Amino acid sequence: MSSFATTIENGIAIVTFDLPGEPVNKLNGAVKRELESLLARLRDDSATRAVVLISGKPDTFIAGADIEEFTAIANQTEAERLSFEGQETVSRLETSQKPIVAAINGACLGGGLEVALACHYRIATDHPKTVLGLPEVQLGLIPGAGGCQRLPRLIGASAALDMILSGKTERASKALRLGLVDEVVPPTILRQVAAAAADRLAREGLPKRQQKGGLSGMMLDRTAPGRRMVYRAARKQVIKKTGGHYPAPLAALGAVEVGLEQGIAAGLAEEHRAFGELAVGDVSRKLVQIFFATTALKKDDGVPAGTAVPRQIRRLGVVGSGFMGAGIAGTAVLNVEVDTRLKDSDLTRIGKGLKAATGLLKERLDRRRITRPQYERLSGLLSGSADYRGFSRADLVIEAVFEELDVKRQVLAELEAEIRPDAIFATNTSTIPIHHIASQARHPERVLGMHFFSPVERMPLLEVIPTGATSPDTIVTAVRFGRRMGKTVIVVADRPGFWVNRILSPYLNEAGHLLQEGVNIELIDRVMTEFGFPVGPVALLDEVGLDVAQKAGSVMHEAFGDRMKPAAALPRMLGATRLGRKNGRGFYSYKAAHKAGVDKSVYPLLGVHPTENVDKDLVERRLVYSMLNEAALACADGVVRSPRDADIGAIFGIGFPAFRGGPLRMIDDVGPARVVETLYQLQEQFGERFRPAPALLEMARSGGRYYPA
Ligand code: NAI
């Protein structure tokens, strides 16, 4: 079946790309071949003066290369060839004697933007779904079809590197300011405007473009010494951000630099060489696996397909307008555009909550992600009161009150008297078993956990936690709503700590043991950031709040016994009213809410003399293997439904290094037998808490793994 349909109107060929049987347009081998022969036909067709390339899909121009195709690559040579062929196809667009206009509505990403860059003129629509970008580095790759060459030539080295090295996408208005597109129009007239532009180009020739960026941009981008400064700054920033763990951004920088300094042919050669090397590398493989896992989760409702019916959520209630409640309300309004009612015990607290929730909208407005009228409309969806007024119309209520069983039970009882009998009650508890909260409910089938992470608007994960009594309809409704809030959702079992806090607990506790042994705080944190976590465990304790961590720690201790026996460090800190960032006094000191250095007065408080004279590898092993072992234990307990959910939960919930693929992937990579060996060594040195999980012993014995090899 054909992917392109062509109509010729007044000498302008309108080529509509509509990949059969797929929701979005992707570039694969067949599409590239068809495009090439189409271009050849149009070249020889005397009735055609110019071409418009437009998409037949509602929300995408071209979403990028077909990633499935990458996974089939067997070796580096094949990967290089794939990139080289992409470059060739795209160059045919650029060298076409007949001008080609890209008419862009919806996502124009990766290979899609590389196609657009090779066209002679670009028009984008102002539709919110229209975004342009080269996100390849997020898959551990670089733009490999000329993107590293054409983008800097079009918008300058600094702006291009800003986009390529981060993989971020830009809206049409910003793309226009950057010079990435030539015009922005409403979707309804895209086709007409594009046809008119094609006609103009055919008659008057290609437009002269001036690079944007003003005088300073010109000095930086147009002179060799200026560009050297740009490369140097970019390299420094990349190394700082990736800790040297992700090779793609530096490779992209290399391809841009070679292209600008040695000419486009050399640049293209470097581009496909580097692409080939990265595509078969371990980091890219891991990032692609994560991409597929999250894509699969987007289609996974948490219950077997066809067994449940989601209900529509038209109105949301949120009880508790504190830190989490406000975040949940603001995020729901922003992403789901749902009428949201907040309830707290008094109006002052409601006022604070509404202000915080509106603050999230304001931030989007300031960053020009939403317009003023959108902001006004969304703010209008938020309301609040000190009683349950309005809750009788809610379809879903999320509870985020204090972390106390009695309070939560009482709120549920009060709500059941107010809300419709078919409304769903979700609790955001982080430590209390959901079935305890639900034990006296009149409708336990409509009670479950929705565990958001802080800060809600930024953390990408949501754990949905059904009890044994929760109905499938309730589960699927919560999963779908969480997804609409922009979250990656995993459904986990109602066991203490659920998944994320379960594997986090022994890790944070091990940090407590290290602290109590006098290991230098910066060293502990540095070891783990070098391992690839975004923050170290001690800094994380400060963020979570030492009171919260202590409470969670004792719940876990009670549930799992000696393995989770809390280290002495936290009670000592709390004894000195050190709560972490929230009161400006933790392991670190805080000046005007900014983290300053380690607070050295902590050491005498813990009764230790700080030392750096430790085996760093051992520090790393203690922290990492406590988490790996717990992951194996929890997995065997049936806390997660699959290794996929486990690894995604760890990566998105606590920042487990993505390039390592998650704790279970890491166990597979290291090999269960070696993991067991290390755990035995740790057990001998540090005690029973490192006793290897039976599941690991079994895997070591039988040669099992979590994922198929
Ligand atoms: P918070 O103390 O900031 O907010 C709690 C709010 O609930 C307060 O405004 C309080 O006035 C209100 N409240 C208490 N009893 C109430 C009642 N009976 N009716 C109405 N409102 C009532 O606490 P935060 O941090 O927002 O935590 C809320 C829940 O979210 C807790 O269950 C916590 O375990 C959970 N959670 C917290 C996370 C965090 O990082 N802070 C992360 C994930 C979950």
Architecture per CATH, 500-702: Orthogonal Bundle (1.10)
pLDDT at 217: 73
- 85 CA to centre of ligand 1 in angstroms: 55
CA distance 104 to 608: 63
Confidence band for 396, pLDDT divided at 50, 70 and 90: very high
pLDDT at 69: 87
Q: What is the pLDDT of residues 503-531, one digit of tens each?
A: 999 999 999 999 999 999 999 999 999 99
- 354 CA to centre of ligand 1 in angstroms: 14
Contact 301, 475 (CB under 8 A): yes
pLDDT at 24: 96
- Is the predicted pLDDT of residue 593 greater than 80, yes or no? no
Residue 237: exposure state from Cβ atoms within 10 A (0-12, 13-18, ≥19): middle
- Is the predicted pLDDT of residue 72 greater than 90, yes or no? no
Ligand 1, atom 35: nearest CA belongs to which residue? 429
Ligand 1, atom 38: nearest CA belongs to which residue? 454
3-class DSSP assignment, residue 354: helix
Residue ranges per structural domain of the chain: 4-280, 315-491, 500-702
- 401 CA to centre of ligand 1 in angstroms: 4
CA distance 474 to 477: 5
- Ligand 1 lined by 454 (C-beta under 6 Å): yes
pTM of the model: 0.94
3-class DSSP assignment, residue 65: strand
* Percentage above 90 pLDDT, the chain: 93
The ligand 1 atom nearest the CA atom of 401? 7
Contact 283, 245 (CB under 8 A): yes
DSSP annotation of 358 reads H
The ligand 1 atom nearest the CA atom of 324? 26
CA distance 654 to 632: 17
Residue whose C-alpha is closest to residue 509's, from 599, 570, 580: 570
Fold of 315-491: Rossmann fold (3.40.50)
Mean per-residue pLDDT, 338-350? 97
Mean per-residue pLDDT, 362-388? 95
- Ligand 1 lined by 322 (C-beta under 6 Å): yes
Q: Is 665 left (phi over 0), alpha (psi -120 to 50) or beta?
A: alpha
Contact 348, 429 (CB under 8 A): no
Alpha helices in 243-386, H assignment, sequence order: 248-262, 264-279, 282-298, 323-336, 347-366, 372-379
CA 287 to chain centre: 11
Ligand 1, atom 44: nearest CA belongs to which residue? 430
Mean of pLDDT over the chain: 96
Contact 429, 408 (CB under 8 A): yes
* Residue 555: half-sphere exposure toward Cβ, Cα within 13 Å: 21
Q: What are phi and psi of 51, to 5 degrees?
A: -130, 140
Confidence band for 88, pLDDT divided at 50, 70 and 90: very high
In the numeric block, the tokens 């692409």 are attached to 275
Q: What is the pLDDT of residues 634-674, one digit of tens each?
A: 999 999 999 999 999 999 999 999 999 999 999 999 999 99
pLDDT at 353: 97
The ligand 1 atom nearest the CA atom of 327? 26
- Contacts of residue 698, defined as CB under 8 A and 6 or more positions apart, other chains included, come to 704
Confidence band for 213, pLDDT divided at 50, 70 and 90: low
3-class DSSP assignment, residue 311: coil
- Ligand 1 lined by 472 (C-beta under 6 Å): no
CATH number of 4-280: 3.90.226.10
- Contacts of residue 4, defined as CB under 8 A and 6 or more positions apart, other chains included, come to 15, 16, 17, 18, 34, 35, 38
pLDDT at 394: 97
- 511 CA to centre of ligand 1 in angstroms: 26
Give the gyration radius of the chain's Cα atoms.
28
- 460 CA to centre of ligand 1 in angstroms: 20
Q: What is the pLDDT of residues 283-307, one digit of tens each?
A: 999 999 999 999 999 999 999 988 9
Mean per-residue pLDDT, 486-495? 98
Q: What is the pLDDT of residues 100-110, one digit of tens each?
A: 999 999 999 99
- Helices (runs of H) and strands (runs of E) counted in the chain: 30, 22
Ligand 1, atom 39: nearest CA belongs to which residue? 454
Which residues are identified as catalytic? 463
CA distance 646 to 503: 10
Cα three-residue angle 350-579-535, rounded to 5 degrees? 100
DSSP annotation of 666 reads H
Q: What is the pLDDT of residues 404-419, one digit of tens each?
A: 999 999 999 999 999 9
Residue 23: exposure state from Cβ atoms within 10 A (0-12, 13-18, ≥19): exposed
Mean per-residue pLDDT, 629-633? 98
Alpha helices in 7-106, H assignment, sequence order: 29-44, 67-71, 76-94
- Ligand 1 lined by 323 (C-beta under 6 Å): yes
